[in-house]
Amino acid sequence: MSQNAPIREQVATRLRQLRLERGLSQTALAARVGMREGDISRYETGERSPSIESLERLAEGFGLSIAEVMTLNQREPSSDLDVIVSALRNQPNKVIAIARRLVLALLTDPP
């Protein structure tokens, strides 16, 4: 994402990046934050800009603050570990427990 790109394009790119880093479809993100899938799509294409209220809901859905969501400067690609941690953030304890068991199983008996 170029820092010279219009702000709407930068926000669109950032929202898409955050969604993909968490392994979410537009449908899943919309359900998570109580929005319509079409709104998520329009935000990610830059067709529309999210309101402050929508940004707040999206930030909560990503497990981030609004400031973190609006960090528009170029970031280094997330490491695999960062992607995994982000995907597990805000998941139910049952999902985290399963993930923990899977990791431990892989460490004790690598593929």
- Do 1 and 30 belong together in one domain? yes
Q: Report whether 40 contacts 30 (CB < 8 A).
A: yes
Tens-digit pLDDT profile for residues 58-68: 999 999 999 88
- Do 9 and 45 belong together in one domain? yes
24 secondary structure, DSSP code: -
Tens-digit pLDDT profile for residues 24-52: 999 999 999 999 999 999 999 999 999 99
Positive or negative: CA dihedral 74, 43, 70, 10: positive
- The model scores a pTM over 0.85: no
Which residue type sits at 36? R
- Do 28 and 66 belong together in one domain? yes
Structure tokens at 31: 């359900």
- Do 17 and 53 belong together in one domain? yes
Q: Report whether 49 contacts 88 (CB < 8 A).
A: no
Distance in angstroms (rounded) separating the CA atoms of residues 47 and 24: 20
- Do 57 and 84 belong together in one domain? no
